[in-house]
């Protein structure tokens, strides 16, 4: 039975009560709900809307309820619909008439909007902290293997040699953009809706700004109708989370590939792998694979929220109750994925000898040979064609480029000389000495910059 029946003469149908109840999942908002209520009660007393004694009783009751919940002693009642009514009902048991005055000058509409904003603010801080921990481990792995060289790929075909550290730092950059997106989301989340009432504001002399200060908001909402129905910040968090999971999924895909016998670039620690029920030799990268799969769930939660919002007239509609489960699932999925990836990256074993071996089994220095001809006066497009034909010749002969004779080289261009054999993986790396390039000096600088960036933002400690 619903706690708030108002003008109705009949109790809600039991199935309706079950269908509309949100307390099984919104109970996790209890900290935010109690914090908002405490700030609201104190403001009511400052404004003379309730007495100082009543506010003190309300605050003491709310703090007692918080302790009950955290000790597992609070009995949630599904018939009271949600976390807000469960707390209010218990408060009235503890504080009597004073508890019944807490809801003065607010609605559940602006109350839940407040709780959600407080929750997303807290979650953004936790998310960014998790990203920074992963970035820290990426930097550590890159530094520990800064001389390792691997093939760089395009279309999953060998392209040019790169330092393994350079490859890893690409993920640092992706995650850095993610922290920027979450910080941007925080700016629009950091707006206090309390005081908007149900739709039109409240008919009491309240002080919204003092409540905002107490709760740590930088500003108050400017339109009551928008404030109670806005869930853009939920969409923004889920969009940022989707991009972050996409980046983690890309890393997961590479870890899966690199750990195969065909690549053999890395070995995933046994703590982050599983065996097979039938094949005793198997060591499966299940953690990375699950991250790829869970990324789809996060995308789905984003699309569900957008779909929920697209047809809602102003202002509050019960559809907005659907803002929570998807968000909570996204938060749990992203935070757990960041945490498990941090441990997995920290324990990776790199096999630089296999990376180097892979470099010798392809025509990965072809671009350097085209550059060699350009430096001798050949137009690049012409040089590109010459080297393409040279590679085709080598493949036909079953040779790699370094195995061709100087006569074979000169058969394709008289510009080739004995110095063509000085083109090596090392010279290829050194030649990319531009900002953002894979030259050892540039990667050393990029590592130092990444560490400074992380430390300046409170990570990397």
What's the CA gap between 118 and 126, in Å, rounded? 13
- Torsion angles phi and psi, residue 161, rounded to 5: -70, 140
Whole-number mean pLDDT of the chain?
Answer: 95
Is 190 among the domain residues? yes
For residue 361, the model assigns a pLDDT of 80
Q: Are residues 121 and 51 in the same domain?
A: no
Q: What is the DSSP string of 182-193?
A: HHHHHHHH-EE-
261 plus 396 within the same structural domain? no
Residues 301 and 372 in one domain: no
349 within 8 A of 363, measured Cβ to Cβ: no
Helix H or strand E encompassing 150: strand 149-154
At residue 19, the pLDDT reads 79
Q: Are residues 75 and 122 in the same domain?
A: no
Is residue 276 annotated as part of the catalytic site, yes or no? yes
Q: Estimate the share of the chain in helix, then strand, then coil, as percent rounded to the nearest 5.
A: 65, 5, 30
For the entire predicted model, the pTM comes to: 0.94
Q: Sign of torsion, CA 309 311 317 318?
A: negative
Q: What does the pLDDT look like over 284-341, one tens digit per residue?
A: 999 999 999 999 999 999 999 999 999 999 999 999 999 999 999 999 999 999 999 9
Residue 8: per-residue pLDDT: 63
Q: What is the pLDDT confidence band of residue 460, given thresholds at 50, 70 and 90?
A: low
Specify the pLDDT at position 277.
Answer: 85
Q: Residues 218, 276, 382, 422: which is the catalytic one?
A: 276
Sign of CA dihedral 234, 235, 236, 240: positive
* 38: pLDDT strictly greater than 80: yes
Assess whether 273 and 330 both reside in one domain. Answer: yes
- CB-based contact 189:121 (threshold 8 Å): yes
Residues 405 and 438 in one domain: yes
Q: Does residue 279 lie within any of the structural domains?
A: yes
**Judgement on whether residues 348 and 414 belong to the same structural domain of the protein:** no
Number of other residues whose CB lies within 10 A of the CB of residue 388: 14
Could you confirm whether 155 is annotated as catalytic?
yes
What is the secondary structure of 100-137 as a DSSP string? HTTTTT--HHHHHHHHHHHHHHHHHHHHHHHHHHHHHH
Query: What sign for the dihedral angle of Cα 355, 360, 361, 366?
Result: positive
Q: Is residue 157 part of a domain?
A: no
The domain in which residue 171 lies consists of 109-140+163-352
pLDDT at residue 367 tops 60: yes
Q: How confident is the model at residue 40 (pLDDT cuts 50, 70, 90)?
A: very high
Q: In angstroms, rounded to a whole number, what is the distance separating the alpha carbons of residues 220 and 229?
A: 15
Do the domain assignments include residue 376?
Answer: yes
263: nearest Cα among 357, 134, 402, 363: 357
Burial string for 152-167 (b: 16+ CB within 10 Å, else e) reads beeeeebebbbbbbbb
Residues in the chain: 461
CATH number assigned to the domain comprising residue 44: 1.10.275.10
Q: Are residues 181 and 312 in the same domain?
A: yes
The answer as to whether 300 is a domain residue is yes
How crowded is the C-beta side of 58, counted as CA atoms within 13 Å?
27
pLDDT at 154: 96
**Domain count for the chain:** 3
CATH of the domain at 198: 1.20.200.10
Q: DSSP state, 11?
A: P
Residue 149: inside a domain, yes or no?
no
Q: How confident is the model at residue 23, as a pLDDT?
A: 87
What is the pLDDT averaged over residues 388-394?
97
Catalytic residue among 3, 84, 103, 155: 155
């Amino acid at each position: 039975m619903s706690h708030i029946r108002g003008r109705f003469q009949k109790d809600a149908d039991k199935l309706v009560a079950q269908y509309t109840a949100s307390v099984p999942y919104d109970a996790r908002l209890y900290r935010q709900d109690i914090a908002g209520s405490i700030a609201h009660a104190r403001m009511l007393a400052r404004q003379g809307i309730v007495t100082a004694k009543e506010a003190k009783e309300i605050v003491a009751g709310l703090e007692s309820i918080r302790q009950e919940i955290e000790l597992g002693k609070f009995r949630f009642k599904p018939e009271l619909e949600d976390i807000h009514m469960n707390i209010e009902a218990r408060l009235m048991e503890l504080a009597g008439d004073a508890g019944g005055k807490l809801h003065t000058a607010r609605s559940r509409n602006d109350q839940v909007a407040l709780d959600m904003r407080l929750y997303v603010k807290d979650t953004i801080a936790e998310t960014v902290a998790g990203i920074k921990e992963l970035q820290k481990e990426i930097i550590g792995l890159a530094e520990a293997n800064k001389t390792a060289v691997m093939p760089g790929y395009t279309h999953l075909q060998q392209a040019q040699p790169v330092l393994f550290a350079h490859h890893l730092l690409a993920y640092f950059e992706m995650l850095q953009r993610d922290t920027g997106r979450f910080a941007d989301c925080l700016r629009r989340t950091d707006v206090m809706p309390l005081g908007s009432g149900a739709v039109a504001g409240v008919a009491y002399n309240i002080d919204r700004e003092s409540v905002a200060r107490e709760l740590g908001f930088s500003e108050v909402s400017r339109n009551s109708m928008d404030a109670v129905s806005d869930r853009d910040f939920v969409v923004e968090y889920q969009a940022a989370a989707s991009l972050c999971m996409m980046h983690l999924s890309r890393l997961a895909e590479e870890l899966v590939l690199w750990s195969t016998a065909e690549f053999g670039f890395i070995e995933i620690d046994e703590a982050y792998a599983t065996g097979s029920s039938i094949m005793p030799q198997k060591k499966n990268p299940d953690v990375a694979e699950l991250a790829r799969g869970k990324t789809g769930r996060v995308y789905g939660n984003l699309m569900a929220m957008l779909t929920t919002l697209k047809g809602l007239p102003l202002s509050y509609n019960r559809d907005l109750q659907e803002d929570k489960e998807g968000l909570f699932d996204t938060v749990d999925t992203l935070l757990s994925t960041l945490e498990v990836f941090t441990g997995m990256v920290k324990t990776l074993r790199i096999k630089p000898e296999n990376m180097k071996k892979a470099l010798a089994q392809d025509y990965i220095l072809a671009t350097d040979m085209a550059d060699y001809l350009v430096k001798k006066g050949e137009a690049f497009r012409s040089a590109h064609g010459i080297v393409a034909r040279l590679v085709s010749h080598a493949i036909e002969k079953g040779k790699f480029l370094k195995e061709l004779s100087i006569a074979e080289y000169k058969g394709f261009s008289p510009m080739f000389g004995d110095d063509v054999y000085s083109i090596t993986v090392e010279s290829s790396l050194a030649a990319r000495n531009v900002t953002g390039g894979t030259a050892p000096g540039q990667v050393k600088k990029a590592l130092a910059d990444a560490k400074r960036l992380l430390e300046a933002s409170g990570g990397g400690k």
